[in-house]
Copies of this chain bind each other. A is one copy, B any other.
Amino acid sequence: MEIQSLLDSKRKLALTAEPPGPVVLSSRIRLARNLCDYPFPGWAKETQRRDILTMCEDAVAKIPEMEKGMVFEIDKLSELEKQVLVERHLISRELAANSQGAGVLISRDQACSVMVNEEDHLRIQLVNNGFQFRKIWKTIDRIDSGIESKLNLAFSQELGYLTACPTNVGTGMRASVMMHLPALVISNQMEKVIRAVNQLGIAVRGLFGEGSDASGSIFQISNQQTLGEAEADIIKRLSSVLNTIIEQEENARAKLLENDRIKLFDKMGRAYGTLQNGHLLSSAEAMNYLSLVRLAIDLNIIPEGERIRVDRMFMESQPGHIQYNVRRAIESDQRDVARATLLREQLRELPPLNFDNFVDS
Protein backbone atom coordinates (compact mmCIF):
# COMPACT_ATOMS: atom_id res chain seq x y z
CA MET A 1 0.00 0.00 0.00
CA GLU A 2 1.58 3.23 -1.15
CA ILE A 3 0.35 5.46 1.67
CA GLN A 4 1.92 3.05 4.13
CA SER A 5 5.31 3.39 2.45
CA LEU A 6 4.85 7.13 2.82
CA LEU A 7 4.20 6.75 6.55
CA ASP A 8 7.20 4.48 6.91
CA SER A 9 9.52 6.72 4.94
CA LYS A 10 8.36 9.72 6.95
CA ARG A 11 9.52 7.82 9.99
CA LYS A 12 12.91 7.39 8.41
CA LEU A 13 13.02 11.02 7.35
CA ALA A 14 12.15 12.24 10.81
CA LEU A 15 15.16 10.47 12.20
CA THR A 16 17.67 11.87 9.76
CA ALA A 17 16.48 15.32 8.77
CA GLU A 18 17.42 18.55 10.44
CA PRO A 19 15.66 18.67 13.84
CA PRO A 20 12.67 20.95 14.37
CA GLY A 21 13.37 23.96 16.57
CA PRO A 22 11.91 24.75 19.99
CA VAL A 23 9.60 27.53 18.78
CA VAL A 24 9.56 27.23 14.99
CA LEU A 25 8.62 23.65 14.14
CA SER A 26 8.81 24.00 10.39
CA SER A 27 8.86 26.51 7.54
CA ARG A 28 6.96 26.20 4.31
CA ILE A 29 6.73 28.07 1.02
CA ARG A 30 4.09 27.39 -1.56
CA LEU A 31 3.72 28.82 -5.05
CA ALA A 32 0.46 29.02 -6.98
CA ARG A 33 0.90 28.50 -10.74
CA ASN A 34 -1.49 28.05 -13.63
CA LEU A 35 -1.28 26.90 -17.22
CA CYS A 36 -1.85 29.49 -19.93
CA ASP A 37 -4.13 27.57 -22.17
CA TYR A 38 -6.69 26.13 -19.77
CA PRO A 39 -9.44 27.57 -17.56
CA PHE A 40 -8.75 27.61 -13.85
CA PRO A 41 -9.68 24.27 -12.17
CA GLY A 42 -12.99 25.66 -10.86
CA TRP A 43 -14.05 26.48 -14.39
CA ALA A 44 -12.44 23.63 -16.30
CA LYS A 45 -14.57 20.74 -17.57
CA GLU A 46 -13.75 17.27 -16.34
CA THR A 47 -11.92 16.28 -19.53
CA GLN A 48 -9.86 19.45 -19.32
CA ARG A 49 -9.04 18.75 -15.69
CA ARG A 50 -7.87 15.27 -16.66
CA ASP A 51 -5.69 16.71 -19.44
CA ILE A 52 -4.22 19.24 -17.02
CA LEU A 53 -3.53 16.50 -14.49
CA THR A 54 -1.72 14.32 -17.04
CA MET A 55 0.26 17.21 -18.40
CA CYS A 56 1.33 18.51 -14.98
CA GLU A 57 2.14 15.06 -13.64
CA ASP A 58 4.40 14.42 -16.62
CA ALA A 59 6.18 17.74 -16.24
CA VAL A 60 6.60 17.69 -12.47
CA ALA A 61 7.73 14.07 -12.34
CA LYS A 62 10.74 15.03 -14.47
CA ILE A 63 12.04 17.59 -11.95
CA PRO A 64 15.15 16.14 -10.24
CA GLU A 65 13.72 16.87 -6.74
CA MET A 66 10.71 14.66 -7.49
CA GLU A 67 12.72 11.64 -8.59
CA LYS A 68 11.38 8.35 -7.22
CA GLY A 69 8.56 10.30 -5.61
CA MET A 70 4.93 9.25 -5.24
CA VAL A 71 1.90 10.20 -7.31
CA PHE A 72 -1.67 9.93 -6.03
CA GLU A 73 -4.88 10.63 -7.90
CA ILE A 74 -7.32 11.93 -5.35
CA ASP A 75 -10.37 10.04 -6.55
CA LYS A 76 -8.50 6.76 -6.20
CA LEU A 77 -7.76 7.36 -2.51
CA SER A 78 -10.00 6.26 0.34
CA GLU A 79 -11.34 8.88 2.75
CA LEU A 80 -8.89 7.66 5.35
CA GLU A 81 -5.92 7.90 3.00
CA LYS A 82 -6.90 11.44 2.07
CA GLN A 83 -7.22 12.34 5.73
CA VAL A 84 -3.73 11.02 6.45
CA LEU A 85 -2.30 13.15 3.63
CA VAL A 86 -4.14 16.20 4.97
CA GLU A 87 -2.89 15.60 8.49
CA ARG A 88 0.64 15.40 7.12
CA HIS A 89 0.06 18.70 5.31
CA LEU A 90 0.91 16.98 2.02
CA ILE A 91 -2.44 17.93 0.50
CA SER A 92 -4.98 20.56 1.48
CA ARG A 93 -8.51 19.87 2.71
CA GLU A 94 -9.69 21.53 -0.48
CA LEU A 95 -7.81 19.09 -2.70
CA ALA A 96 -9.10 16.15 -0.64
CA ALA A 97 -12.65 17.39 -1.28
CA ASN A 98 -12.11 17.66 -5.06
CA SER A 99 -13.63 14.77 -6.89
CA GLN A 100 -12.16 14.40 -10.34
CA GLY A 101 -8.95 15.16 -12.12
CA ALA A 102 -7.11 16.17 -8.95
CA GLY A 103 -3.79 14.72 -7.89
CA VAL A 104 -0.62 15.21 -5.92
CA LEU A 105 3.05 14.43 -6.48
CA ILE A 106 5.14 13.96 -3.40
CA SER A 107 8.93 13.87 -3.35
CA ARG A 108 10.62 10.84 -1.88
CA ASP A 109 11.65 12.75 1.27
CA GLN A 110 8.15 14.28 1.52
CA ALA A 111 9.65 17.76 1.67
CA CYS A 112 8.07 18.76 -1.63
CA SER A 113 4.49 18.20 -2.71
CA VAL A 114 2.84 19.49 -5.85
CA MET A 115 -0.95 19.54 -5.89
CA VAL A 116 -2.64 19.56 -9.29
CA ASN A 117 -6.10 21.06 -9.78
CA GLU A 118 -6.62 22.39 -6.32
CA GLU A 119 -7.74 26.04 -6.54
CA ASP A 120 -4.96 26.58 -9.08
CA HIS A 121 -3.56 24.17 -11.61
CA LEU A 122 -0.38 23.83 -9.60
CA ARG A 123 0.36 24.37 -5.97
CA ILE A 124 4.04 23.72 -5.35
CA GLN A 125 4.97 23.40 -1.71
CA LEU A 126 8.28 22.84 0.02
CA VAL A 127 8.67 22.33 3.75
CA ASN A 128 11.63 22.02 6.07
CA ASN A 129 12.14 21.66 9.82
CA GLY A 130 13.01 24.79 11.77
CA PHE A 131 13.19 28.41 10.59
CA GLN A 132 14.61 27.90 7.08
CA PHE A 133 13.13 30.28 4.52
CA ARG A 134 16.37 31.01 2.70
CA LYS A 135 17.13 27.36 2.10
CA ILE A 136 13.55 26.59 1.11
CA TRP A 137 13.33 29.56 -1.23
CA LYS A 138 16.50 28.54 -3.03
CA THR A 139 15.17 25.03 -3.65
CA ILE A 140 11.57 25.88 -4.50
CA ASP A 141 12.76 28.57 -6.90
CA ARG A 142 14.77 25.92 -8.72
CA ILE A 143 11.80 23.53 -8.76
CA ASP A 144 9.58 26.32 -10.04
CA SER A 145 12.02 27.17 -12.83
CA GLY A 146 12.18 23.51 -13.76
CA ILE A 147 8.40 23.34 -14.03
CA GLU A 148 8.26 26.62 -15.92
CA SER A 149 10.71 25.26 -18.48
CA LYS A 150 8.31 22.40 -19.20
CA LEU A 151 4.91 24.09 -19.00
CA ASN A 152 3.46 27.25 -20.43
CA LEU A 153 2.49 29.20 -17.28
CA ALA A 154 0.02 32.09 -17.04
CA PHE A 155 2.16 35.13 -16.34
CA SER A 156 1.46 38.82 -16.87
CA GLN A 157 4.31 41.31 -17.23
CA GLU A 158 2.25 43.75 -15.26
CA LEU A 159 0.70 41.54 -12.51
CA GLY A 160 3.05 38.59 -12.32
CA TYR A 161 1.65 35.06 -11.95
CA LEU A 162 -2.08 34.83 -12.56
CA THR A 163 -4.13 32.81 -10.11
CA ALA A 164 -7.75 31.70 -9.59
CA CYS A 165 -8.14 33.89 -6.53
CA PRO A 166 -6.95 37.51 -6.73
CA THR A 167 -5.35 37.24 -3.26
CA ASN A 168 -2.65 35.06 -4.82
CA VAL A 169 -1.91 37.12 -7.92
CA GLY A 170 1.66 38.38 -8.30
CA THR A 171 4.24 36.17 -6.68
CA GLY A 172 1.64 33.44 -6.04
CA MET A 173 3.73 32.83 -2.96
CA ARG A 174 2.69 32.08 0.55
CA ALA A 175 5.44 31.63 3.11
CA SER A 176 4.47 30.22 6.48
CA VAL A 177 5.84 28.68 9.62
CA MET A 178 4.37 26.36 12.23
CA MET A 179 5.10 27.86 15.59
CA HIS A 180 4.73 26.29 18.99
CA LEU A 181 3.69 29.07 21.35
CA PRO A 182 2.66 27.41 24.63
CA ALA A 183 3.78 30.22 26.93
CA LEU A 184 1.89 32.88 24.98
CA VAL A 185 -1.21 30.65 25.15
CA ILE A 186 -0.84 29.86 28.89
CA SER A 187 -0.35 33.53 29.73
CA ASN A 188 -3.32 34.55 27.57
CA GLN A 189 -1.30 36.75 25.24
CA MET A 190 -2.11 35.08 21.91
CA GLU A 191 -5.11 37.24 21.13
CA LYS A 192 -3.03 40.37 21.53
CA VAL A 193 -0.25 38.90 19.38
CA ILE A 194 -2.68 37.86 16.65
CA ARG A 195 -4.22 41.33 16.53
CA ALA A 196 -0.85 43.04 16.26
CA VAL A 197 0.41 40.65 13.61
CA ASN A 198 -2.77 40.93 11.54
CA GLN A 199 -2.26 44.65 11.29
CA LEU A 200 1.07 43.97 9.58
CA GLY A 201 -0.65 41.89 6.90
CA ILE A 202 0.37 38.59 8.47
CA ALA A 203 -2.22 35.86 9.11
CA VAL A 204 -2.29 33.56 12.15
CA ARG A 205 -4.24 30.32 11.88
CA GLY A 206 -4.58 26.98 13.67
CA LEU A 207 -2.76 23.78 12.77
CA PHE A 208 -4.86 23.23 9.63
CA GLY A 209 -5.06 26.70 8.21
CA GLU A 210 -8.11 28.85 7.93
CA GLY A 211 -10.88 28.14 10.43
CA SER A 212 -9.01 25.40 12.33
CA ASP A 213 -8.29 25.77 16.02
CA ALA A 214 -4.89 26.02 17.61
CA SER A 215 -4.86 22.82 19.61
CA GLY A 216 -1.44 21.98 20.96
CA SER A 217 -0.60 25.72 20.95
CA ILE A 218 0.57 25.29 17.37
CA PHE A 219 -0.05 28.19 15.01
CA GLN A 220 0.47 28.60 11.31
CA ILE A 221 1.69 32.10 10.53
CA SER A 222 1.94 33.35 6.96
CA ASN A 223 2.12 36.38 4.68
CA GLN A 224 -1.13 37.65 3.20
CA GLN A 225 0.16 39.88 0.44
CA THR A 226 1.37 38.49 -2.88
CA LEU A 227 1.21 41.56 -5.09
CA GLY A 228 3.62 44.48 -5.45
CA GLU A 229 6.43 43.03 -3.42
CA ALA A 230 9.28 40.74 -4.50
CA GLU A 231 9.52 37.27 -2.95
CA ALA A 232 12.70 38.13 -1.07
CA ASP A 233 11.05 41.21 0.44
CA ILE A 234 7.96 39.27 1.50
CA ILE A 235 10.14 36.70 3.23
CA LYS A 236 12.24 39.38 4.87
CA ARG A 237 9.20 41.20 6.21
CA LEU A 238 7.56 37.96 7.42
CA SER A 239 10.81 36.81 9.05
CA SER A 240 11.13 40.02 10.97
CA VAL A 241 7.60 39.59 12.38
CA LEU A 242 8.33 35.94 13.20
CA ASN A 243 11.49 36.94 15.06
CA THR A 244 9.40 39.29 17.16
CA ILE A 245 6.93 36.50 17.95
CA ILE A 246 9.77 34.14 18.89
CA GLU A 247 11.09 36.81 21.22
CA GLN A 248 7.65 37.30 22.76
CA GLU A 249 7.26 33.56 23.31
CA GLU A 250 10.70 33.43 24.92
CA ASN A 251 9.83 36.36 27.17
CA ALA A 252 6.54 34.73 28.12
CA ARG A 253 8.41 31.53 29.00
CA ALA A 254 10.92 33.43 31.13
CA LYS A 255 8.11 35.24 32.90
CA LEU A 256 6.17 32.03 33.56
CA LEU A 257 9.30 30.43 34.96
CA GLU A 258 9.92 33.42 37.14
CA ASN A 259 6.41 33.94 38.48
CA ASP A 260 4.60 30.64 38.08
CA ARG A 261 7.33 28.04 37.88
CA ILE A 262 5.62 25.48 40.10
CA LYS A 263 2.31 25.92 38.28
CA LEU A 264 4.10 25.36 34.98
CA PHE A 265 5.93 22.30 36.31
CA ASP A 266 2.59 21.04 37.60
CA LYS A 267 0.97 21.48 34.19
CA MET A 268 3.83 19.66 32.48
CA GLY A 269 3.86 16.89 35.07
CA ARG A 270 0.12 16.31 34.84
CA ALA A 271 0.24 16.31 31.05
CA TYR A 272 3.03 13.75 31.04
CA GLY A 273 1.34 11.60 33.71
CA THR A 274 -1.98 11.65 31.90
CA LEU A 275 -0.47 10.74 28.53
CA GLN A 276 1.46 7.95 30.21
CA ASN A 277 -1.54 6.51 32.05
CA GLY A 278 -4.79 7.67 30.46
CA HIS A 279 -7.20 5.32 28.70
CA LEU A 280 -9.36 7.89 26.91
CA LEU A 281 -7.84 10.88 25.13
CA SER A 282 -9.51 13.22 22.69
CA SER A 283 -7.44 14.68 19.88
CA ALA A 284 -7.51 18.18 21.37
CA GLU A 285 -6.53 16.95 24.82
CA ALA A 286 -3.69 14.86 23.40
CA MET A 287 -2.37 17.84 21.41
CA ASN A 288 -2.48 20.10 24.43
CA TYR A 289 -0.65 17.60 26.62
CA LEU A 290 1.91 16.86 23.92
CA SER A 291 2.46 20.59 23.66
CA LEU A 292 3.42 20.67 27.34
CA VAL A 293 5.68 17.65 26.89
CA ARG A 294 7.35 19.46 24.00
CA LEU A 295 7.85 22.45 26.27
CA ALA A 296 9.44 20.11 28.84
CA ILE A 297 11.96 19.16 26.13
CA ASP A 298 12.71 22.83 25.46
CA LEU A 299 13.42 23.20 29.19
CA ASN A 300 15.62 20.07 29.26
CA ILE A 301 13.26 18.28 31.64
CA ILE A 302 13.03 15.60 28.96
CA PRO A 303 16.17 14.96 26.87
CA GLU A 304 16.41 16.75 23.53
CA GLY A 305 16.77 13.37 21.80
CA GLU A 306 13.08 12.67 22.45
CA ARG A 307 11.84 15.68 20.45
CA ILE A 308 11.44 13.68 17.25
CA ARG A 309 9.39 11.05 19.04
CA VAL A 310 7.13 13.70 20.58
CA ASP A 311 6.65 15.50 17.27
CA ARG A 312 5.76 12.16 15.71
CA MET A 313 3.16 11.64 18.44
CA PHE A 314 1.57 14.98 17.49
CA MET A 315 1.22 13.62 13.98
CA GLU A 316 0.14 10.11 14.86
CA SER A 317 -2.50 11.03 17.39
CA GLN A 318 -4.55 12.88 14.78
CA PRO A 319 -7.90 11.24 13.94
CA GLY A 320 -6.94 10.10 10.43
CA HIS A 321 -3.68 8.53 11.55
CA ILE A 322 -5.40 6.77 14.45
CA GLN A 323 -7.94 5.25 12.09
CA TYR A 324 -5.46 4.50 9.32
CA ASN A 325 -3.44 2.60 11.91
CA VAL A 326 -6.32 0.11 12.28
CA ARG A 327 -7.24 0.45 8.58
CA ARG A 328 -10.86 1.40 9.16
CA ALA A 329 -13.09 4.28 10.16
CA ILE A 330 -13.86 4.13 13.88
CA GLU A 331 -16.11 6.31 16.02
CA SER A 332 -14.76 9.19 18.06
CA ASP A 333 -14.93 7.37 21.42
CA GLN A 334 -13.09 4.36 20.04
CA ARG A 335 -10.49 6.68 18.54
CA ASP A 336 -10.01 8.15 22.02
CA VAL A 337 -9.27 4.65 23.33
CA ALA A 338 -6.90 3.85 20.45
CA ARG A 339 -5.15 7.23 20.83
CA ALA A 340 -4.68 6.75 24.58
CA THR A 341 -3.29 3.24 23.98
CA LEU A 342 -0.83 4.51 21.37
CA LEU A 343 0.32 7.40 23.56
CA ARG A 344 0.60 5.23 26.68
CA GLU A 345 2.90 2.87 24.83
CA GLN A 346 4.97 5.69 23.35
CA LEU A 347 5.22 7.60 26.64
CA ARG A 348 6.35 4.50 28.49
CA GLU A 349 9.53 4.77 26.45
CA LEU A 350 10.25 8.31 27.60
CA PRO A 351 12.44 8.72 30.68
CA PRO A 352 10.74 10.14 33.81
CA LEU A 353 10.58 13.93 33.98
CA ASN A 354 13.77 15.24 35.47
CA PHE A 355 13.25 18.68 36.94
CA ASP A 356 16.78 18.67 38.35
CA ASN A 357 18.00 18.95 34.78
CA PHE A 358 15.84 21.99 34.22
CA VAL A 359 17.76 24.71 32.41
CA ASP A 360 16.86 28.22 33.46
CA SER A 361 16.59 30.59 30.56
Q: Identify the A interface with B (CB < 8 A).
A: 262-263, 265-266, 269-270, 272-280, 337, 340, 344, 348, 352-353
Contacts and interface: CB of A to CB of B under 8 A. Distances in A.
Given A263-B280, A266-B280, A348 B337 contact: no
A313 B266 CA distance: 19
Contacts of A348: 352
Contacts of A280: 262-263, 266
Contact of A269 (B278, B352, B353): B278
Given A262-B280, A269-B278, A274-B274, 18 more contacts: A263-B279, A263-B280, A266-B278, A266-B279, A266-B340, A269-B274, A269-B279, A269-B344, A270-B273, A270-B274, A270-B278, A272-B277, A273-B273, A273-B275, A273-B277, A276-B277, A277-B353, A348-B352
Number of copies of this kind of chain in the complex: 2
Nearest to A261: B279
Please indicate which of the listed interface residues A273, A277, A348, A353 has the most CB atoms of chain B within 10 Å of its own CB. A277
9 contacts: A262-B279, A263-B279, A263-B280, A265-B279, A269-B274, A269-B344, A272-B277, A273-B275, A348-B352
A336 to B, nearest CB: 9
B353 A262 contact: no
Contacts of A269: 274, 277-279, 344
A273 B272 CA distance: 8
A290 to B, nearest CB: 14
